[in-house]
Structure 1
Amino acid sequence: MTNQFPFVVIPPGTTASNFRRDLPLLYRAVIMATSSDYPSRQAFYEKQIVEFVTDHLLIRSHKNLDLLQGILLFITWYKRNTMVVTQLNNLLQLAIALIDDLYLNRSPTWFHKSKVLLALACSRSVKYGPKTMDERRALLGCFYLSSVAATSFQRLDSMRLTRQIEESCQALLEKPEYPTDLQVAYVVKAQYLTDRIAQNIHINEGNIVHSPKTPIEMHIKAFQSEIFAMRESLSPSLRLNTSVLMHLDFASMRLYEVALLDNPQNPTTNPIATDPAHLENLYSLLLSTKSFITATLATPGATYLSLSYIAWTQFTYSVAVLDRLTFFKSPSCPSWDVPFVRSVIDLSTVLSTFAGRFEQAREHTCSQMMPGENSLRVEQANLYNRYALRTQMVREWFEHKAKFGNSANWDWEQAKVRLINAFEGKNKGMEQEHTPIPPTMAGYDIVELKDGNMQLDPSLFDGLNDDSFWLNLLGEWGDGPGV
């Protein structure tokens, strides 16, 4: 987990009793994050965390590092299937407010601008700016999450880069306490680069917004150079760090995503639509998307449900980009077609592999079960099934669209019945050997029949019958672009 979110580090040798006593919210957040395989247990801890934050932060007005770290970790493993999605905005704003209340993003000169502020600082013994490595990581973590929310989720505005953020990043590079501190610095640098790309080459409702005095190709080349320079600056160990490399791939993907727009009616404002440049950028987008997806699929299936909220959303975003790349058509790029894209990376194969990972994880979970196994183990197996079936549904839809050119005639009802029957055939009798699913699991797409067997809830795929499927699917694993 530290590799996924290295902004919060628990020192080696910390005992559970001391951890729970000294950092009560962070302790709960860690338990919640490690319960991702069990939605009901995770929901229990999520409720506890929300109540704790409400009581200590909003009612008692406590301001401390434990609250900040706990909220940051909570956001990172925030799950749509057990939490109301609108909480993401609220939690991010609380974290940003805590950064300000703890003066972690303030310089000494800020206090001296006002005698009132200076007197307040002296009376409260306020220390401005981060002083410990934990505070530096927390500041960078908040900056990182706000940037991800702005560039990947298209929510809120990211925190501005300040001298305190730059100094914290440099401090981790120069005197890292843990090996993951170097990862923190480069992940923040890569995410800030992605943020700048989004601000300078922003896609909004089919238009490219950029400086009218500078051709967009100049922006692309400038950012290309920055991404290349950052890759070259990586140490040998960081060149093997999957998280850093994936962040750079995602930055490239956001950079070249502009190639998916084509405006032949007004080519002077869209120079990317020229034949060679447009084709080159499309291909660069395809390669960066392939690199990102391949790295995600290299993760063992049994750990997929433990992936952070950010990893889920960025992966789903990359799949959505690949879908658009597959069916992209432009008069300026007549050679760009479905067979070519699928020869480089086939979305059907990606989805089949993805579903297979979940099926393997489910089979492993079932093989570990004993007669009378508790409901949590059964719940875990069913959760793997849920995602495997959803992914197979997407793959069938994609194959239909690739064959006929659109998904207008796709029979969703027939597909539902086919997959539900497949589920029942695969699982008939297996669940009878174990503890039945509790009634509360009906909310997780599994319903128990009178004879003790189970079937997939037919409403599982409702509302997913149009080309915005990816954004609807995204809502299951994270709250991403366009939602």
Structure 2
Amino acid sequence: MLPYFPFIDLTPDMTSSYLRQNRPFLFQAIQTVAIFSTQERLTQVEELKRILFTSAFLEVQSNIDLLLGLLTYLAWSTDAFLGRADLVSRLMMLAISLVHDLRLFKPSTPDVQAMMSITQGQADETTQSPNDQMPDGLLERQRALLACFILSSNFSSHLGRQDAIRLTPQMEEALRVITLRKSCPTNEVFVFQVRLQLLKQRADYVRQQDEIDCARTGTAHVAASAPRFLYLKTLRTQLHELISSIPPDLHQIDILNTQAQYVGLYINQLGYSIGLDCLALHQPGRIVDGGMLLDFQRLECLWQSVENIKSWLDEFYRIPCSEIIGQPFYFWSQMVLSITLLKYLSTLKDPEWDCQAVRNTVDLTSAMDCMLQKLDQSSKELQCDDHLLKFLSKLLTKCRRWAEARLKMASQLQDMGSTPCQSSNLDTTSHDDHIPYLDQMVWMQSMDLGNDQWFEDVLGIPTTFY
């Protein structure tokens, strides 16, 4: 599991005995996430929560052991898929609080340390173990800081209820130090994961600023969108350069490639969301030259998303089944998001958009068939029937039935001389008139794959799949 999100360097001398003595909460968290049975894991989770509550709230501790254990649980938690989004949201905020308490964002000045000693009888860093002051201890804290950034960014997108932590000088310095540290073989993979996530955050930040500007002025201008499209091109160039710099023989390159395609989806979103806002200001048939160019760029971003999803799926199929089961939560979030976005791209009602070309490139039902086969093969590695892969298979199976019925309806309308993406009878709602922002897929934020009532509420009626 750790090789797929290597934010901890577990050296050979860090045995279970060592961890039990020096990192007891981390050890407990590792034991918890190593249980794949949902029911069995719940028992361990309750004990983990008890220890966390006692340490963090009753005893008001802030130490690296608590932070590492909490990040470990969050990284491989299944709560966001099983109706416990509130829990992981609170735990993520607690992890960010620990990062602040440990001064990982901003080291304490001598004056602050002196005042802490006077008022509380100790400096704020004295809760650290002596090992934390060693070079390896510093690296451990720097990795934890960057891991907190990656997880907060992913939970922000998946849950849509909290902001990711922003890049700070301390994070930049941590990234620089870890990049130069060649003694740990997993550092290179981790550094690429951080850099890819930073690109995703930059794209999302620009889109959010655009929303704020539009809300403030009540308008969106073609001219104002030009620099944003320039920024989009810059981000694409940076993404391409980053992908090109990944050594082809690097271990876990397939995991990095899936993340890169996911980042590409966020960059593309910047393009078609800006374009849609501006095009809405123009009346049909009266689009000025800038609007025509904007429309072309919007369609280009939409099509690039199709290509990104196809590449994500290709990488997913190549990952060995033995490695599938150890992926962190955000990998599965990427999978669900990719197939959801493909649904929108396959049924988008836009006179300029060719839905059939999308289906010819990546067929929605065929993609879900292949994914189900992959999940089924990977499930054989596990010795239980209530693990996350089973729940994800359940989701894909139900979504496939919906997609098959929906696309069959579209085909029938096309045979009658209607264009599937333009027919008003294809969908009585406006869900397919546009593509929601990737961090505003409401049904993903409420996901409860173990609850049949949730499936009925969300997928019972075809048009409610969003």
TM-score using structure 1 length: 0.74
Secondary structure class of the residue paired with 2:4: coil
Would you say 1:255 and 2:254 are equivalent positions? no
Is this contact kept in 2: 1:105–1:162, CA < 8 A? yes
Within 5 Å, give how 1:227-246 maps onto structure 2: 227-238=239-250, 241-246=253-258
Within 5 Å, give how 1:206-245 maps onto structure 2: 213-215=224-226, 216-238=228-250, 241-245=253-257
Q: In structure 2, what is the Cα distance between the partners aligned to 1:57 and 1:210? A: 46
- Alignment-derived partner of residue 404 in structure 2: 399
Q: CA deviation at 1:190?
A: 1.2
Q: In structure 1, what is the Cα distance between the partners aligned to 2:20 and 2:82? A: 24
- Alignment-derived partner of residue 281 in structure 2: 266
Q: Identity, % of aligned pairs? A: 20
Q: CA deviation at 1:383?
A: 6.7
- Alignment-derived partner of residue 340 in structure 1: 357
Within 5 Å, give how 1:382-393 maps onto structure 2: 386-393=391-398
Structure 2 stretches lacking a partner, 5+ long: 411-425, 430-447
Secondary structure class of the residue paired with 1:201: helix
Q: CA deviation at 1:22?
A: 2.0
Identify which of 434, 437, 460 aligns with 1:465.
Answer: 460
Structure 1 stretches lacking a partner, 5+ long: 366-376, 410-442, 446-456, 472-483
Secondary structure class of the residue paired with 1:6: coil
Is this contact kept in 1: 2:365–2:403, CA < 8 A? yes
- Alignment-derived partner of residue 161 in structure 1: 167
Write the deviation string for residues 95-146 of structure 1: whole angstroms up to 9, x where unpaired. Answer: 11111211222146x5558974697799527489985211111111112212
Identify which of 173, 195, 204 aligns with 2:201.
Answer: 195
Secondary structure class of the residue paired with 1:167: helix
- Alignment-derived partner of residue 475 in structure 1: none
Q: CA deviation at 1:86?
A: 0.3
Residues 346, 194 of structure 1: CA spacing in aligned structure 2 closer, same or farther, 3 A cutoff? same
Q: Which amino acid aligns with 2:189?
A: Q
Is this contact kept in 1: 2:406–2:462, CA < 8 A? no
Write the deviation string for residues 345-401 of structure 1: whole angstroms up to 9, x where unpaired. Answer: 111111111222233345676xxxxxxxxxxx4535x87555434322211210111
Q: In structure 1, what is the Cα distance between the partners aligned to 2:220 and 2:112? A: 36
Question: What is the root-mean-square deviation of aligned Cα atoms in Å?
Answer: 3.6
Q: In structure 2, what is the Cα distance between the partners aligned to 1:236 and 1:306? A: 22
- Alignment-derived partner of residue 66 in structure 2: 67
Residues 358, 159 of structure 1: CA spacing in aligned structure 2 closer, same or farther, 3 A cutoff? closer
Write the deviation string for residues 74-103 of structure 1: whole angstroms up to 9, x where unpaired. Answer: 111121366722012211111111112112
- Alignment-derived partner of residue 90 in structure 2: 90
Count of residue pairs the alignment pairs up? 409
Residues 237, 301 of structure 1: CA spacing in aligned structure 2 closer, same or farther, 3 A cutoff? closer
Residues 47, 156 of structure 1: CA spacing in aligned structure 2 closer, same or farther, 3 A cutoff? same
Is this contact kept in 2: 1:217–1:272, CA < 8 A? no
Q: Which amino acid aligns with 2:335?
A: F
Within 5 Å, give how 1:1-150 maps onto structure 2: 1-36=1-36, 38-80=37-79, 84-107=84-107, 110-112=109-111, 116=115, 124=123, 126=125, 132-150=138-156
Secondary structure class of the residue paired with 2:14: coil
Residues 408, 352 of structure 1: CA spacing in aligned structure 2 closer, same or farther, 3 A cutoff? farther
Residues 297, 101 of structure 1: CA spacing in aligned structure 2 closer, same or farther, 3 A cutoff? same
Q: Which amino acid aligns with 1:349?
A: S
Secondary structure class of the residue paired with 2:159: coil
Q: Which gives a bigger RCO, structure 1 or 2 (Cα 8 Å, sep 6+)?
A: 2
Q: CA deviation at 1:459?
A: 4.8
Would you say 1:326 and 2:352 are equivalent positions? no
Q: In structure 1, what is the Cα distance between the partners aligned to 2:83 and 2:349? A: 39
- Alignment-derived partner of residue 316 in structure 2: 296
Is this contact kept in 1: 2:117–2:123, CA < 8 A? no
Write the deviation string for residues 432-456 of structure 1: whole angstroms up to 9, x where unpaired. Answer: xxxxxxxxxxx996xxxxxxxxxxx
Q: In structure 2, what is the Cα distance between the partners aligned to 1:258 and 1:402? A: 28
Is this contact kept in 2: 1:356–1:388, CA < 8 A? no
Q: In structure 1, what is the Cα distance between the partners aligned to 2:292 and 2:46? A: 49
Residues 135, 468 of structure 1: CA spacing in aligned structure 2 closer, same or farther, 3 A cutoff? farther
- Alignment-derived partner of residue 420 in structure 2: none
Residues 223, 31 of structure 1: CA spacing in aligned structure 2 closer, same or farther, 3 A cutoff? same
TM-score using structure 2 length: 0.77
Would you say 1:172 and 2:178 are equivalent positions? yes
Is this contact kept in 1: 2:74–2:92, CA < 8 A? yes
Is this contact kept in 2: 1:33–1:306, CA < 8 A? no
Q: CA deviation at 1:54?
A: 0.3
